[in-house]
Amino acid sequence: MSRVDDLQEKYPSLPRQYIVRWDTRVHGLSDSGKLDEIGRWVPINPEGGAYANFDFDITLKDWVEAKPGRQKPGYVLRPARFVLPENGIEINHRDMINSKSDLEVRAEGNGRFALYQGEERVEEVWHQPSPAIGEKLTSSGKPESDFLSRRSRHCFGVYPLRDCEYFQLGLACKFCNFNPTHEDARSVGMGHSTTGDIKQTVEAYKRFASEVRIVEGIFVIGGLRDSDKEVTLAANFAEKLAPETPYHPNFSLCTQPMNRKNMQRLKDVGVDCLICNMEVWDPELFAEIVPGKAQYRGRERYLEAFQEAVGVFGAGNVTTNFAGGVTLIPERGHKTWQEARDSTIEGIDWMVRHGVLPSVSWLRFSPGAAYASEENRKKVPPTDFYLEVALAHHEACKKHGLYDKLNRLMLCPLDVLTSLICGELGAYELAGSLAEWTAAVVPREANRFRQWEEQHMSPPANR
Ligand code: SF4
Gap from CA of 293 to ligand 1 centroid (Å) = 8
| Pocket test residue of 53, 159, 162, 164 for ligand 1, highest count of atoms within 8 A of CB | 164
For residue 277, the CA-to-ligand 1 centroid distance in Å is 9
Highest-confidence segment of 195-199, 249-253, 262-266 = 262-266
Using an 8 Å Cβ cutoff, are 325 and 364 in contact? Answer: no
Q: What is the pLDDT of residues 116-134, one digit of tens each?
A: 999 999 999 998 776 555 6
Protein residue closest via CA to atom 5 of ligand 1? 222
pLDDT of residue 134: 61
Q: Given a cut of 50, is residue 463 above it in pLDDT?
A: no
Does 414 have pLDDT greater than 60? no
pLDDT at 405 over 70: yes
Backbone conformation region of residue 355, classed left if phi is above 0, alpha if psi is from -120 to 50, else beta: left
- The residue ranking higher by pLDDT, 380 or 424, is 380
Mean pLDDT computed over 295-309: 98
413 pLDDT exceeds 70? no
Q: Tell which atom from ligand 1 comes closest to the C-alpha of 293.
A: 1
pLDDT surpasses 90 at 60: no
Residue nearest to atom 8 of ligand 1 (CA): 176
What is the pLDDT confidence band of residue 41, given thresholds at 50, 70 and 90?
confident
Which among 52, 245, 74 is positioned nearest to 145, based on CA atoms? 74
| Residue of 161, 167, 176 best suited for mutating to test ligand 1, as the one with most atoms within 8 Å of CB | 176
**How many angstroms separate the CA atoms of 28 and 8, rounded?**
19
In this structure, the residues whose C-beta lies within 6 A of any atom of ligand 1 are: 164, 166, 172-173, 176, 178, 222-223, 292-293
Percentage with pLDDT > 90 across the chain: 57
pLDDT score recorded for residue 50: 44
The number of helices, as runs of H, and strands, as runs of E, in the chain is 19, 14
Average pLDDT, integer, range 176-196: 87
Q: Is the pLDDT higher at 298 or at 435?
A: 298
Chain segment 233-257, per-residue pLDDT in tens: 999 999 999 999 999 999 999 999 9
Domain residue spans of the chain: 3-127, 144-446
Query: Mean pLDDT lowest for which of 93-107, 353-367, 435-449?
Result: 435-449
DSSP alpha helices (H): ranges in 269-407? 286-289, 291-296, 299-313, 337-353, 374-377, 383-399, 402-405
Report the pLDDT value the prediction gives residue 222, as an integer from 0 to 100: 86
Give the confidence band of 193 by pLDDT, cuts at 50, 70, 90: confident
356, β-bridge pairs: 318
pLDDT at position 425 over 80:
yes
Distance 25 CA to ligand 1 centre (A): 21
- CA of 223 from ligand 1 middle (Å) equals 6
109 by Cβ neighbours in 10 Å (0-12 / 13-18 / 19+) ranks as exposed
pLDDT: is 166 or 187 the higher one? 166
Atom of ligand 1 nearest to the CA of 176: 8
For domain 144-446, the CATH class is alpha beta
Q: Which atom of ligand 1 is nearest to the CA of 290?
A: 2
Least confident segment among 23-27, 174-178, 446-450: 446-450
The model carries a pTM of 0.93
For the stretch 305-316, pLDDT in tens is 999 999 999 999
Residue whose Cα lies nearest atom 2 of ligand 1: it is: 173
Interacting residues of 313 by C-beta distance below 8 A, sequence separation 6+: 263, 267, 271, 272, 273, 274
**Closest by alpha carbon to 391, among 350, 431, 420?**
420
Question: How far away, in angstroms, is 166 Cα from ligand 1 center?
Answer: 7
Among protein residues, the one whose CA lies closest to atom 1 of ligand 1: 223
Instruction: Tell me the mean pLDDT in the region 140-166.
Output: 88
What per-residue confidence (pLDDT) applies to 120? 97
pLDDT at 461: 44
Amino acid at 406: L
